[in-house]
Structure 1
Amino acid sequence: MTDFATEKTTASDWFRQLRDDIVAAFEGLEDSHDTGPMAAMAPGRFEVTKTTRTSDDGSDAGGGLMSVMRGGRVFEKVGVNVSTVYGTLGDAAQRAMAARGVPGMDSDPRFWASGISLVAHMQNPHAPAVHMNTRMFWTPHAWWFGGGSDLNPCIEYTEDTAHFHATQKAHLDPHGADWYPKLKAWADEYFYIPHRKRARGVGGIFMDDQNSGDWAADFILTQDIGRAFLPAYVPLVEKRRVQPFDDADKDVQLVHRGLYAEYNLVYDRGTKFGLATGHDANAVLMSLPPLAKWV
């Protein structure tokens, strides 16, 4: 397999552009929120921190940007991280790759990974939390793409769920009518919490280990998964951020956040990979909510 140098740069640059577009859109939501709960607060802004990763021998192993907004008038906490990391996989990560069918990791465990990861927790309990990521992973033996987005409302609205899914379907349908039902079913399976016997939210789309043999086609598919996010999510925030809420609504939100935290700490593969490969722990764990509750 070739080094895929051009493809790596192309993918990494696009993930960074998607990050920039989302950060601008979210700060725009903060600026335009001028009526309803929390509107009297100052609009939130992202704090941007460079993240770094070093290999076991102390050499540079990549990094990225951690962008976190806390205490906005729409977003209570939202993180939009982008990173490009590389180096040599440790023993545990090599075994995990081998278990996923990647050959040759014991003889050449080099890797490269780039992607964007987003989690938003909202001030208004009526506005849904959300998760999104897209990524590319390379080893000398295989490459693949992954990604998706899923909606996590604590107070569910049928019409919001329908809009979120319809927008994703519209972006996937040009790639073939089978893609949306396939990725929806994958999300339903992946974002399930076995010890609670329930889903984390109302689903979305999820894809992993995508390698059709046509890098360009798989990259365009991944881009469309990313492009679907803002039109699927922003209208829901614009609609729900103005609704009044009370302490009971907030309590429901905090309990649901506990469910979200359980999933991310126990099951999420991205969390496990980030910590296992030595990436900045604060960046890996930015998905956790600012406040949560268990009953």
Structure 2
Amino acid sequence: MTETMDSEKARASAWFEGLRDTIVAAFEGLEATQSTGPTAGLPAGRFERTVTRRSSDDGSEAGGGVMSVMRGGRVFEKVGVNTSTVHGVLGEAAQRAMAARGVPGMDSDPRFWASGISLVAHMQNPHAPAVHMNTRMFWTPHAWWFGGGSDLNPCIEYAEDTAHFHDQQRAHLDPHGADLYPRLKAWADEYFYIPHRNRARGVGGIFMDDHCTGNWEADFSLTQDIGRAFLPAYQPLVERRRDTAWTEADKDTQLIHRGLYAEYNLVYDRGTKFGLTTGHDANAVLMSLPPLAKWV
């Protein structure tokens, strides 16, 4: 059995919250400096923070988080940067899912603790790419691991933007091993795939799950660098594309692409399923869905 790891849990939770604050400040800075284009006359977007609570099956408090959402800004049509730290006992379905992934001892002691950050940005300008990022730590009395990553979801792809996003991921992962970026990129290509559409939902990124080398410090350091890679990978793309003129046809392309994003998150995303089946606030779990989407 693993130790309680109270110190490590506190450090991980604090890191996710600090990363949230850094990203929120950067995104509000983009809003404040947007001065051209059809949305420039809107008030600069600001995040609204809502405390979320999770209740266990017996009604007792089981953690929660903070849902930080900006809607209708100059640059961001909808963006959420959520953090949560929850604990309790996994239900039978979640126990079976964990056991199927190789987590031992779930039938004898199904307690869990989980903390993480989850971000999804949907943009006003169709030329500015949508993006997703999350990292998390998960603990049971029998095992612990980290997971997460980030992936870019442009509706109008620019090869140089895709290259920049991936280059930043590689630069932050290479210090942890030259084999890591290719492996996590391939994992993202497999994970962020929509089987019923026979296509990826975007242009990829990096992803890992159940990551535990046995060295918590090393694994936490890797998880931190995945988080640190996000703004250098993404913010320059927003700055590059936010003033590009768009047409109604471009907006239509964006709405159709958002439909793909919604399909993936509702049908396949592991985090969405976990959040809904373990009783977390449904609005926080479904924050990732776009404000508007379209199907043909």
- Alpha-carbon distance, 1:37 to partner: 3.2
**Deviation readout 1:24-48 (Å, 9 max, x if unpaired):** 0000000011123311211001111
Partner of 1:59: 60
Partner of 1:157: 158
Partner of 2:286: 285
- Alpha-carbon distance, 1:56 to partner: 1.1
* Count of aligned pairs: 295
Partner of 2:50: 49
Amino acid at match of 1:89: L
Partner of 2:253: 252
Q: Give the share of equivalent positions with the same residue, in percent.
A: 81
Amino acid at match of 1:174: P
- State the alpha-carbon separation in 1 of the partners of residues 39 and 61 from structure 2: 43
SS of match in other structure, 1:207: strand
In the alignment, structure 1 residue 205 sits paired with structure 2 residue 206: yes
Partner of 1:94: 95
1:126-205 aligned at under 5 Å gives the runs 126-205=127-206
Partner of 1:294: 295
In the alignment, structure 1 residue 230 sits paired with structure 2 residue 235: no
SS of match in other structure, 2:156: coil
- State the alpha-carbon separation in 1 of the partners of residues 175 and 105 from structure 2: 35
Amino acid at match of 2:218: A
- State the alpha-carbon separation in 1 of the partners of residues 16 and 119 from structure 2: 12
Partner of 1:262: 263
**Deviation readout 1:31-71 (Å, 9 max, x if unpaired):** 01112331121100111100000111111100000011000
- Alpha-carbon distance, 1:166 to partner: 0.1
Amino acid at match of 2:257: H
SS of match in other structure, 1:64: strand
Partner of 2:86: 85
**Which 4+ stretches in 1 moved above 4 angstroms?**
none
- State the alpha-carbon separation in 2 of the partners of residues 278 and 269 from structure 1: 15
- State the alpha-carbon separation in 1 of the partners of residues 122 and 145 from structure 2: 29
**Deviation readout 1:207-249 (Å, 9 max, x if unpaired):** 1000000000000000000000000000000010001101000
Amino acid at match of 1:127: A
CA contact (8 A) 1:119 1:130 kept: yes
- Alpha-carbon distance, 1:21 to partner: 0.4
CA contact (8 A) 1:150 1:201 kept: yes
Structure 1 unaligned regions, length at least 5: none
CA contact (8 A) 1:125 1:253 kept: yes
Partner of 2:219: 218
SS of match in other structure, 2:58: coil
- Using structure 2 for the length normalisation, give the TM-score: 0.99
- State the alpha-carbon separation in 1 of the partners of residues 195 and 57 from structure 2: 35
Partner of 1:116: 117
- State the alpha-carbon separation in 2 of the partners of residues 220 and 104 from structure 1: 27
Partner of 1:26: 27
- Alpha-carbon distance, 1:15 to partner: 0.3
SS of match in other structure, 2:196: coil
Computed over aligned residues only, the root mean square deviation of the Cα atoms, in angstroms, reads 0.5
Structure 2 unaligned regions, length at least 5: none
- State the alpha-carbon separation in 2 of the partners of residues 253 and 59 from structure 1: 42
- State the alpha-carbon separation in 2 of the partners of residues 57 and 285 from structure 1: 24
**Deviation readout 1:160-194 (Å, 9 max, x if unpaired):** 00000000100000011001000000000000000
CA contact (8 A) 1:37 1:124 kept: no
Amino acid at match of 2:256: V
